[in-house]
Amino acid sequence: MISLVSNSINTFRGFTRVPGDKSISHRALMIGAISVGTTDIHGLLISDDVLHTANALEEMGVNIERKSNCLWEINGVGVGGLREPNKTIDMGNSGTGARLLMGLVATHSIKVHFTGDDSLRKRPMERIATPLAQMGTRIIAQQDNKMPLTIMGTRMAVPIKYSLPVPSAQIKSAILLAGLNVPGETSVIESWRSRNHTELMLQHFGAKVKINDEFENKRIITLRGQPELEGKKITIPGDPSSAAFLIVAALITQNSEITIHDVCINPLRTGLITTLKEMGANIEIHNSRIEAGEPVADLIVRSSKLNGVVVPAERAPAMIDEYPILSVAASNAIGTTRMQGLAELRVKESDRLTAITDGLKACGVNVNTDQDDLIVTGTKNNVKGGVTVETRMDHRIAMSFLVLGLNAKNPIAIDDEKHISTSFPSFVSLMNDLGAQIRKVI
């Protein structure tokens, strides 16, 4: 089945904004929910994943009001104030929502049943269950600690000091959110720096979070439990992982220049920009400023001749969601791009290493894997296309291949557009406003 088809274009131009950052939106809802008083959120991402988090919190007694498309108001219940939901919490496709909420409820004395869609039910939850069990929470799962599962939360939890086995902001955040309702200090030790939105937002709401990064290659984040969090007004910056599709679209198409306003440029999220610049991309960063603790800027991107590079494994946490779209840039480049250390891509919304490799091969690109490395041989703007790519319930695979179609010899279609709305519901209209030719097939 074909759902959307993307045709090649001659130019991609204009001024735009991308929707609010998904990671920060989940955190704003959750931290607002357990603060005292009112939290006003401007620019919340209104997408399926974030709406699942909002619904889940409402099921647990939090009052959330959508005042307008731009403004959401939360009346928080205070740390430890969530109540037991009457029904199973369905987190849809959202790994971040599910894992962070599992942490948040784990230290309340409530029982919460969680489930999700076919993609989420395949994803590993052991990584969250293990530290939560050390804190004293019981997790009952049917198999391999995957969803559906039940969290038997406890108010008698103990603080832990936990070394992350894999670089993951989701594990780190789940532990910190659990630590909020535990007396004493909860610490997470990370050997690879991952996005720090939870730490920044907790500090912004008044929690005591100490960061010790004096050790080489090691960072210890320590949270003092049972803080009184105070409701705040926050503005969510544009999502760099959504901006990524527009950036690569402008780079690989001719006569292109776009300006994307108000993008989050937290350095733990901008590995793609670093890599693209190494490849020769013309990307300018203007008007840098800090908003609600997060660095924000406007980006200007122009058509560029790209060269293959080696992307080191240490950079992966700062661009973990951007490998599908980087592979699209690499397919148009001159020479080979080797992306190292991508084991975590196998457990995303789909097995992204396989999804990228199969999709690019079908489009006529020479691509291989070597253990956890992905190797793409650039075609010098000569991608064949003319196929329908399987999206595997994965929004980023869907959007990446539609971008590849903008500079392919023949149109590229995707089989299912549904999951684009998990992170970027306005993707097609926003792209077409800038000159893309992405059409629905009825």
Q: In the set 168, 253, 275, 331, which binds ligand S3P (CB under 6 A)?
A: 168
Q: Which residue is nearest to ligand S3P (CB)?
A: 23
Cα 162 to Cα 179: distance, rounded to the nearest angstrom: 11
Structure tokens belonging to residue 406:
């903008």
Tokens of 315: 């950079």
Residue given tokens 């291949």 in the structure block:
401
Helix axes 323-332, 271-278, angle to 10 degrees: 10
Place of tokens 């004493």: 184
Residue 379 per-residue DSSP state? -
Query: Residue 364 in contact with residue 379, Cβ under 8 Å?
Result: yes
321: contact with ligand S3P by CB under 6 A: yes
Q: Min. distance of Cβ 168 from ligand S3P in angstroms?
A: 4
How many residues make up the chain in this entry? 442
The least CB distance from residue 180 to ligand S3P, in Å, is: 16
**What binding mask, one character per residue, do residues 69-98 give for ligand S3P by CB under 6 A, x or -?**
---------------------------x--
Task: Please report how close the Cβ of residue 44 comes to ligand S3P at its closest, in angstroms.
Answer: 14
Instruction: Rule CB under 6 A: say whether 25 interacts with ligand S3P.
Output: no
Site for ligand S3P in 371-400 (CB under 6 A): none
**Host H or E run for residue 335:** none
In 122-230, where does DSSP find H-type helix? 126-135, 169-179, 197-204
Q: Between 169 and 413, whose beta carbon lies closer to ligand S3P?
A: 169
Q: Is 242 in the site for ligand S3P (CB under 6 A)?
A: no
Stretch that binds ligand S3P, among 34-42, 165-173, 174-182, 289-297 (CB under 6 A): 165-173
Shorter beta-carbon distance to ligand S3P: residue 262 or 321: 321
Size of the site for ligand S3P (CB under 6 A): 11
List 154, 170, 256, 357, residue binding ligand S3P (CB under 6 A): 170
Residue identified by tokens 């840039």 is 329
**Quick one: which segment of 136-144, 163-171, 216-224, 357-365 binds ligand S3P (CB under 6 A)?**
163-171
SS3 state of residue 260: strand
The contacts of residue 228 (CB under 8 Å, 6+ apart) are: 36, 78, 79, 206
Point out which span in 167-175, 268-276, 295-303, 397-405 binds ligand S3P (CB under 6 A): 167-175
Q: Which residues pair with 366 in a beta bridge?
A: 377
CB-wise, 32 or 136, nearer to ligand S3P? 32
* In the complex, least distance from residue 149 CB atom to ligand S3P, rounded to whole angstroms: 17
Q: Residue 31 or residue 169: which is nearer to ligand S3P going by CB?
A: 169
Q: Is 320 in the site for ligand S3P (CB under 6 A)?
A: yes
CA distance 121 to 307: 39
Instruction: Based on the shown chain and the rule CB under 6 A, indicate whether residue 137 belongs to the binding site for ligand S3P.
Output: no
Considering the rule CB under 6 A, would residue 314 count as an interface residue with ligand S3P?
A: no
Beta bridge partners of 162: 188
Selection from 186, 172, 175, 182 nearest residue 226 by Cα:
182
Sequence-ordered strand ranges (E) for 193-293: 209-212, 219-224, 233-235, 257-264, 282-291
Residue that is written with structure tokens 């993951």 in the block: 168
Q: Which stretch binds ligand S3P (CB under 6 A): 168-176, 219-227, 300-308, 376-384?
A: 168-176
Binding track, positions 341-360, relative to ligand S3P; x by CB under 6 A:
---x----------------
**Residue 60 vs 169, nearer CB to ligand S3P:** 169
From the CB of 26, what's the least distance to ligand S3P, in Å? 6
Of 147 and 258, nearer to ligand S3P (C-beta) is 147
- In the numeric block, the tokens 């103990």 are attached to 158
Cα(407)–Cα(368) distance, rounded to whole angstroms?
Answer: 21
Q: How far is the CB of 194 from ligand S3P (least distance, A)?
A: 6
Instruction: Write the Ramachandran bin of 144: left for phi over 0, alpha for psi from -120 to 50, otherwise beta.
Output: left
Q: Minimum distance from CB of 94 to ligand S3P (Å)?
A: 9
Catalytic residue, candidates 321, 351, 394, 415: 321
Cα separation of 426 and 66, whole Å?
A: 19
168 vs 235 by CB, closer to ligand S3P: 168
Quote the CA–CA distance of 140 and 124 in Å, as a whole number.
Answer: 14
Residue in the structure block whose two tokens are 């959120």:
41
The answer to whether 321 is a known catalytic residue is yes
Instruction: Please give the positions annotated as active site.
Output: 321
**Site residues (CB under 6 A) for ligand S3P?**
23, 96, 168-170, 173, 194-195, 320-321, 344
